[in-house]
């Protein structure tokens, strides 16, 4: 059955967030990311009721090479393949959650999961590889022209010579320093809460606030950040830049990104509070992240989980509120240019989106046993989609924590 998503023009922004400065710049190459402190008070964080233990047949990610070669992965070691006509189950030989699928243009596909699980699909079949770590893995992509994978506690591996190697220790905080911390505060891998997304220019995720006193559980005591190579490599190999912009957000993580080497303006990032940033060329010739207003989601702790660009550089995003957001390349809220539309797809959160083209898009999320296939009608900018039920493996297997999603963040 075909369904038509309801649409809202613009963004359903949280009213109190509009008092924040609409545009600010985060510099990577010029080392000028704007940071502001955020509260360390953990009393505002609430946790949901645990879902039933026998449930959670969730799909976490979808990716492919074309209309007849699409993969979706998820909880309990689930992997499914679409050949253009039907979905079929693929046995990966593991019951751990598989969190992400990705592959470079013209190259093999990779999949990662909990316990450091890694698979390579270079010949049409998935083959287990050694990632060199037992830590949970969450993201894949190209950073600094090399394939990287990332995960919990600052786990970061680089593909080199056909093998995955550790990138080494991480890094130093430069000016502006982390709030309430000395200038050039030295931090190591274990000071990072999670690395979630890989972009040509940075690795995104969240770090542990040095000033926080208490137990690091879920979001408690953390904030978003990006890692980039140190502009002065003789001093340190890496540097960490805090996100820390939203004065109303207790903790805001960098969640997802698009990745383009060819076109600077095709690089976006999304946060756990629903903000979008676009990479632009700054006044001094440096690359800076420009914050786009308004934010996308309505409620606190609801953010952007994944992004995809079509062939015309239009941006598609999925959110914790079950929305798919369409944004044209020329969208600019301040100058009243372009278009942003929000389509409500499901009452459950969405976790990923990918498309072979705008007639063949796929979304996954926290709806049991379900993948969503969608197409965009540009004649009137409407979204048409169908929900397809997939049969999860009837086997035991590790599930994600009852209070956590695939990123180790609290479910909400």
Q: Convert the pLDDT of each residue in 310-330 to its tens digit.
A: 999 999 999 999 999 999 999
Give the closest residue to 363 by CA, choosing from 380, 379, 376.
Answer: 376
Give the closest residue to 342 by CA, choosing from 358, 311, 319, 374.
Answer: 319
Of 43 and 249, the one with more pLDDT: 249
**Averaged pLDDT, 346-371:** 96
Q: Which residues contact 195 (CB under 8 A, 6 or more apart)?
A: 138, 139, 150, 151, 152, 154, 155, 156, 203, 204, 205, 227
pLDDT tens for each residue of 381-393: 999 999 999 998 7
pLDDT tens for each residue of 231-264: 765 666 788 888 765 666 678 999 999 999 899 9
Rounded Cα distance between 365 and 62, Å, is 10
pLDDT tens for each residue of 139-172: 999 999 999 999 998 899 999 888 899 887 766 6
The DSSP letter of residue 411 is P
pLDDT tens for each residue of 267-294: 999 999 999 999 998 887 778 888 999 9
Task: Name all domains of the chain by residue range, CATH numbers in brackets.
Answer: 3-37+54-389 (2.130.10.10)
Rounded Cα distance between 62 and 76, Å, is 16
The length of the chain is: 412
- The CB-side HSE value for 399 (13 A sphere, CA atoms) comes to 17
Rounded Cα distance between 379 and 162, Å, is 46
CB-CB contact of 284 with 224 (8 Å): no
Give the closest residue to 32 by CA, choosing from 176, 143, 138.
Answer: 176
End-to-end CA distance of the chain: 29
pLDDT-based confidence at residue 367 (cuts at 50, 70, 90) = very high
| Angle (CA) 10 13 16, round 5° | 145
Which residues make beta-bridge pairs with 198? 203
Give the closest residue to 289 by CA, choosing from 10, 37, 32.
Answer: 32
């Amino acid at each position: 059955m075909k369904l038509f998503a309801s649409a809202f023009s613009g963004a359903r922004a949280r009213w109190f967030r509009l008092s924040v400065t609409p545009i600010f710049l985060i510099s990577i190459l010029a080392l000028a990311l704007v940071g502001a402190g955020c509260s360390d008070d953990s009393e505002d964080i609430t946790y949901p009721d645990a879902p039933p233990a026998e449930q959670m047949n969730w799909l976490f990610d979808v990716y492919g090479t074309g209309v007849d070669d699409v993969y979706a992965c998820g909880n309990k070691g689930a992997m499914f393949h679409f050949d253009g006509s039907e979905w079929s189950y693929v046995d990966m030989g593991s019951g751990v959650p598989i969190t992400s699928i990705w592959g470079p243009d013209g190259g093999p596909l990779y999949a990662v999961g909990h316990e450091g699980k890694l698979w390579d699909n270079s010949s049409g079949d998935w083959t287990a590889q050694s990632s060199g770590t037992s830590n949970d893995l969450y993201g894949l992509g190209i950073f600094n022209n090399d394939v990287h994978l990332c995960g919990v506690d600052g786990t970061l591996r680089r593909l080199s010579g056909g093998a995955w190697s550790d990138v080494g220790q991480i890094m130093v905080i430069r000016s502006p320093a982390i709030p309430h911390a000395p200038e050039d505060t030295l931090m190591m891998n274990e000071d990072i809460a999670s690395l979630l997304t890989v972009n040509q220019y940075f690795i995104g995720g969240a770090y542990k606030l040095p000033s926080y006193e208490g137990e690091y559980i879920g979001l408690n005591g953390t904030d978003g950040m990006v890692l980039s190579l140190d502009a002065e490599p003789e001093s340190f190999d890496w540097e960490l830049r805090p996100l820390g912009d939203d004065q109303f957000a207790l903790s805001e993580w960098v969640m997802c990104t698009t990745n383009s080497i060819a076109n600077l303006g095709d690089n976006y990032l999304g946060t756990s509070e629903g903000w979008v940033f676009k990479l632009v060329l700054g006044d001094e010739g440096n690359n800076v992240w420009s914050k786009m207003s308004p934010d996308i989601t309505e409620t606190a702790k609801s953010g952007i989980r994944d992004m995809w660009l079509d062939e015309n550089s239009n941006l598609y995003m999925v959110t914790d509120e079950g929305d798919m957001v369409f944004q044209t390349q020329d969208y600019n809220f301040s100058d009243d240019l372009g278009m942003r539309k929000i389509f409500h797809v499901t009452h459950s959160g969405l976790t990923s989106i990918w498309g072979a083209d705008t007639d063949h898009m796929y979304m996954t999320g926290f709806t049991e046993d379900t993948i969503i296939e969608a197409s965009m009608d540009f004649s009137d900018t409407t979204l048409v989609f169908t929900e397809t039920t997939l049969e999860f493996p009837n086997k035991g297997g590790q599930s994600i924590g009852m209070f956590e999603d695939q990123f180790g963040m609290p479910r909400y």
